Chains A and B, each alone.
Chain A
């Protein structure tokens, strides 16, 4: 006897009913709608140390970019079928069309959705029926309609009958894949019958029920004809950890469930789920230091019930719960609910797989690397791990190389932190490592480029270089490539940069590229970096930048200027590392050109004057003239502020140690008349507020000392001086 149990994938109601139906009916064989390759991994579910949710990953052996995954969690009816088979020693078979057939059809990555259709009715017929009955939360519809039914087996008969109505025999099937899959499944059912099983339970998506019931009316020959002549691609399966977050449709899984944690509550506590969910919400809010008392939970439950009544539902669903939580617990503030929302939907649950489970080559290579670098503790949980690396120590250098390689492979396990305390280019690095099951999939999918991390990396970067069109992109890649110890790739990148036309870019992009290139010269002693190409590129860029910078600043708007201002400073700083004096002269001349460009942004002009002043390439007299001109009485105050901001950019150190600089400023201020001084004062205050307290005090002392010196040359009226001196002294002491 064959019984077909139409279920809803990841439906807690379905899962509970199936569990009861199986233990009532006691089948001697279970067939599950899952690609045939899943048969290899059923036994892994019984390993101790498997924590749900997990997923079965199916991938083409020769091209892991073709991959599909089937998640299983406690409220997946398929998982309950597996549990039953293991508990009662009943054979279980995956009867869906082998993935090998589908991979032969597909060209790239796809997510396996238990149905390749986009039609709502095919994807989720029971959900669609609930929707028609006015239930947005399908599971509540199940609860209301099926929970009270007599006996759990009867539920599945009702579902089968409903599906017969939805899929009558004369319905024209449009989805070819479904026809093939159902033919294959019918073949497997006949096979099981032939093998002599007496009570066969078939667990499949409700939509398939009517067509699978046809197994004894359609002839084997007809089904064979449907399958015949299709090609296969070798396919492998493995079990990987999964997470509730990845179970949601927002993560690209079309059969996903919106709120896995809500479903979990429905599975374990169907009668108490409403209260439990709202209590959980209140507790999460409290963790965020927001008030949410038990009394409010009581009132939230009351509101959820009232809303359900208003919407003609017998019991509240997720939407009512959300409305109640938002209105009562969060005082209507969406931001509060958003703060806990993800946690509330997923409970941050993450699955685990014990190390004994079989692994694919690149995954093994990854784990081997992790182990030899002694990073294993960082992949045990999803906590953030900090790593401070001292690159002078060989072991830590190896870790850095490995993490840079993962970055290039776009495996987002490690994130490099830029700290103010860590000077760029020094031998320290700080990393933050955060593990997530998603990373494992990224690793497995990198297997398309090679069997080990390094093999995959070389192939991937080569492809990236070939397809790159933008020299900025290439320049940015260079640094990481060198840090990932892939010196053999440096030359191809430099050559490609030449080809992609560095010259056609605007001045700012050229400066960005230059800023990436100059630091690379410090690796110059490393044999494989071709100094000649690098120097040629640098010289070429500097020539172009110096020619283009004057007309370029003219066309910038305020925001772009701000950006360009920082770029000028970085370039200027890096220029200092180049030995060739010719570069310096070019650069200084170009900056002097910018100074003359009156239509450019005041902040840039101020900054440039300062740079030239620092370099000592402008005479004090000229600097004074610029000062007077830029800060003249007719100039708008806002422009003066910006100009000063540019001029005084950075630390106060230069002002302290360069008397000429301070003198310039001092001269200007002393020359102001009283009313103008009052106008300028707030601007000066704003500019100086960027300096540290210590710097400001030292500046003050310096100015006072200077003033006292000047005062000594003045003839004083002793009597009057004595009258005011004590109070002046008290101000400065």
Chain B
């Protein structure tokens, strides 16, 4: 009996035909828990070869501002979903307002993120830029906060208006975070 091993060579489809998929994130928050969604998804999109843009606006400006990017904070004030990991209890809202609580909650969250081997914000933003992600700052926010280009990291390509963003996101998927 002969066994014929004639299986054709299987080559994975890496989607080599040029994809015109484009994803544009709007990062509008500066609390630690709310900056990760756009960063994680932007990074994933880049790994998949998708053209990726992030437009930083309002509190999201802190993500690309040298003075603040290393020091984003987390509070559970106003977040009723906050419960200690694995526990069926909620953290009392009033407790979050006590002095030192934001610092403590921030430290805990940073540790949880680091345990997953996910980088802190400054490294993450630079990683995204290195991977070819396009970073844009919002003109209105820059004017409102009195920022100059030097206040932001070099990886930011330009300060653009809302209209510019609408133009550049033409044909892409836009995700507001």
A and B bound? no
Using a CB–CB cutoff of 8 Å, the interface residues on chain A facing chain B are none
